[in-house]
Every structure is written in C-alpha cells, then in structure tokens.
Amino acid sequence: MADMIVVDTLADLLAIPAGWRGPAQILGRNVVNDGGGGVFQWDAASTATPDRGTVFQPTAGGTGRWIRIWSAIADLPWFIRAADGSASPGLAAALEVADVVRIPVGSWSLADMHVLEGKRLIGDGMGLSVLTLANTAAGVTLSGQVDGTGISGLTIDGGQLTDTTGASGLVFRNARHSRVENVETRALPAGTGFDFVNVDGGFNESNILIGIRATDCGWGLRFRRAAGSTADSFYYNTIIGTVSRMPEGGTGLAVESVTDGGTTRFSVLSGAFVRLNIYGNVAAGSRIVDIGGRVTSSALFVTGEAAGGSTAHTTLRLGPTAWFRENTGQITYVNGSFDIDAGATIANNKILLQAGEDIRVFEIATGGAERLSAAFTLSTGSWIALDTASWTRIYDRPSPWTSGEQMNGGRFVTVVTARYQIAAALLLSGVSAGQTVELQAVLDDGTRLMIDTRTAGAAGDLAIGGIVATTLAAGVTATLEVRVTGGSSVQIVPGSGVQASTWSVTSIGT
C-alpha cells in the first residue's frame, strides 16, 4: 500500500503533482484544524462532479478526482470555502451530498434559509453548535412529508438581526413526522422561535419536539396559516419545552386565526400534546397563552411565571374567534389575568387553570367549603359561565358536603329530588356608573334563577351576591353565569371581604 501523504490544507492537496497521488490526509480545509480536514483516496479514472466537500478535481484539471473517505454523516466545515463569507453556501452543498449533516462546536453564520426535507442536522449540543442568522431570510425550515426530517443538539441565534425583522428560527412548513430534540432558538425579539405554518393546501402533522427552548423571542411557539392557504389543521403534534424572557408584547404559545378574502379561517391545533414552561422576565403586555383560532381535543400543560410578581401581562387570552373545546390539561402560572372575549367559544374542557392570587381552588377551614378567586375580563352584554365544564374547575365536591349529591367539575348535579339553596357572591372591578350586573343560576333546561341584579350608582368596584332557593328534580344540572350590560368591559377580581366567583349549593330538605 502506498504511503499516506499528509498536507496542511485542501489547496495543498489539489496542487500535488500527478506522480505523487495516492492516499492523503489534509489537516484542514482552508487552514489547519478548521474542522474541514480528513482522509482522501485518489481515483485516477473518476470524472465525478466536484461537490465542495467530498469530491475534488486537482488544480491541473483533467481526469481523476480526490474522493473523501466518509460514511453517512457529513461535517459542515468540509464544504465551507474561505471566500464564502458565511456558512450558507457550504450548508447548501452539504445537504445536496448527505442526508445527515453535522454542525460541530462553533458559531456558523447563515445568510440564506435552508430547507430540510428528508434531511437531518445534528449538532454537538445546545449552546455549543450555533447557527447565527444574518438576515430575514435566514433560518431552517422542516418541510414535506418525508420521514426522517429533523434537527437536534444545536442553537439557532438571531443575534445579528434587528428588533424589526420578524424572522423565524425554526419553521415547520407542511411538515409531517419530523423530529426536533434539544434545539434552542434565541434573540428573535420580533420573530418566532418555533413557527408552525400551513402553506397552500398542506398542513403540519405528527411532528415531535422534545427539549426545545425559545429565549428572547416575540413568539415562542406559534401556529398559523399563511395567507392564501386553504389548510387549517395541525394534527397530533407533541411539544415539550421552555419559553423564557419574552419581550414586551411577546407571546409564549399562540394559536392564530387567519382572515383571508373576507372569510375568517381558523388555525386548528387538534390532538396535540403540549407541555410548555413559560417563565422569567414576562414584560407588560405579554401573553403567556394566546388562543385566537381553534384548539380542540388537545392536552395542554402550560406553566407560566412572571418576574417580580408583575401582573401587567395576560396569562391567558381567548380571542373573539377562539374555539376552545374538548381539551384536557392544566395551565398554571404566577400572577397575570384572563382576557376572554365575548365571541370566544368555550365548552367541555377538562382544563384546570391556576394562577397565584388571581385564580385558585382552596378550602375554607370552617365548614369545608371551597371557593374560586378569579380575575378575568367580562365583555359587556355577554353571559360568561363560571363553571368547570366551560373553562376552569371550581369544585371537586359539593360545598358544604351533602350526602348523595355530586359536583361534576363546576356544575352541581342533583342525585335526589330536594329543595336546594344556591348562594353566590362576586366582586367586579372597573364598573361604570349605570352599568347593570346580573348574577343567575342556570338550569340545564334553560331556566334562569336570578340570584341578584345591581345597577352601579358610581364608577368603581361593585359587589353582587345573594341566595335563591328552589326545588330541583334528580339529575338536574345547575351552573353559575354573570352578565354586565351597558358601558365597557369589566373585571371580576378578588377583593377585601368579598371573594370573586364564590358559590355553593346546599340541600335544605325535601
């Protein structure tokens, strides 16, 4: 076997005279130890097209090629020329040659968007292997219906972008069965960390994201439909990760509605499993969860935390076109408030919402009663049901306990025919003079039992509450609803002496 030739760089290899050609090792592509080195074999008969990384033609030209010895995984530095100015041309070339491209430790600048379809990028670790975005077109897109598409073990950094570019770090465009593990997106204050977007008639389905992290991004995780697209659905995606340090006005998890050609079309997050931690430095105006489109039959487990006890952000927003149905899970957070629009459709969820002093379930020592302290926006003129089956758990059992009765979520369901006493109290903040507040118990046949009605004589807080007694047959369901008419929206909040959304149902005999 011929002796191994060892040279410093690729240029040295390509300059070797014809008579000396044989097995060779280069110590670097452009300079020694730049990561682009490797072992090559001379193939005197080859006329293969040079590809920047694994096949090279000698400087003198003619037949014969230097062929890199490699298997399955190509390293990015093999393909980067000194004059490239960024890693983008090299990465594009590597993806043409290999199905799996390794991004080694270091910072690699991307000046163009790169699309992975049936391809994989693997790094040496989050925060170690870094792709730095250089313009609004930069980033990585997972696309198409080819199994095996994925990315792992690296960071996508928008540090070179201005606050107004709106670029996305990792885009899922009509992606199916892709896998993302231990990937961070960061420094995209006007952009999106992980951006799911349906394009044309395609949709995103059955993608798995595990151990993801979005830091300093305007949107941490975003589901949307591109203008002109006819596909509305995101099916069976699994997402586990963290969003931190959202900028002012930022959103941790967003499911957006889209208006196209005068017709409102909804993004649909269906059958998803989402476990997301959203915490740290949540600025004023931020939204931890923002639902503007459809979320159905999904399991959402979201933990949000605001820095310094701030309440200036919105923990959960359900917009006017939100369709929030049949979901399970838990949304837990510190401080913040709910913003639920009158146009939102909310039904049959098994979601537990908990937030600091704003909303919680607990027991009173005397009598064992349970109560809910809630803070959320009540749009004028709309009824809002204060019961678990709609959007939050108020009771796990009757309060106080009555033998033979049961509480199904926040709805009281009678087991025996009896006379019942329904008591409730609310404190509303920001009521305008002249606004009328109605508090009613609503039976499943549509019957409304007025508990109290008040018209505010002056602007400020308004306490409302009372007791109504009635005979109910076995199997009747009772819920609690409140409506404000006239003037602007108000908030239901905890207050001194009166707890918001406190109610109980007590059997008082036959």
Token representation of residue 303: 């933990």
Q: Could you give the count of Cα atoms lying within 13 Å of 191 in the half-sphere of its Cβ?
A: 31
Residue 497 has what pLDDT? 46
- pTM for this model (two decimals): 0.74
The span from the CA of 259 to the CA of 449, in Å, is 39
Closest Cα to residue 119, out of 89, 86, 97?
Answer: 97
Residue 437 has what pLDDT? 87
The span from the CA of 145 to the CA of 141, in Å, is 13
DSSP states of 127-176 as a string?
Answer: TTEEEEE-STT-EEEEESS-TT-EEEEEEEE-TTS-TT---EEEEEES-B
Residue 387 has what pLDDT? 37
Query: Is-contact 337 491, C-beta < 8 A?
Result: yes
406-507: CATH topology: Jelly Rolls (2.60.120)
The letter for the amino acid at 102 is R
Three-class secondary structure of residue 456 per DSSP: coil
The string over 138-166, giving b where at least 16 C-beta atoms fall within 10 Å of a residue's C-beta and e elsewhere, is bbbbbbbeeeebbbbbbbbbbeebeeebe
Residue 202 has what pLDDT? 84
Please, which residues have CB within 8 angstroms of residue 315's CB and are 6 or more apart in sequence? 287, 288, 289, 304, 331, 333, 335, 336, 337, 338, 355, 358
Query: Is-contact 504 423, C-beta < 8 A?
Result: yes
The phi-psi region of residue 83 (left if phi > 0; otherwise alpha if psi is between -120 and 50; otherwise beta) is alpha
Flag residues of the chain having pLDDT under 50.
Answer: 356-376, 387-410, 495-500
Token representation of residue 130: 């870094």
The span from the CA of 487 to the CA of 72, in Å, is 67
pLDDT digits (tens, 9 = 90+) for 467-486: 999 998 888 888 777 888 88
CB neighbourhood size of 228 (10 A): 10
Residue 65 has what pLDDT? 96
Position of tokens 């959203």? 278
Residue 301 has what pLDDT? 92
Token representation of residue 223: 């589901």
101-377: CATH topology: Pectate Lyase C-like (2.160.20)
Position of tokens 């990015």? 76
Positions of CATH 2.160.20 in the chain: 101-377
Positions of CATH 2.60.120.40 in the chain: 406-507
Residue 85 CA to its chain's centroid (Å) = 34
Residue 406 has what pLDDT? 45
Enumerate the β-bridge partners of residue 384. 482
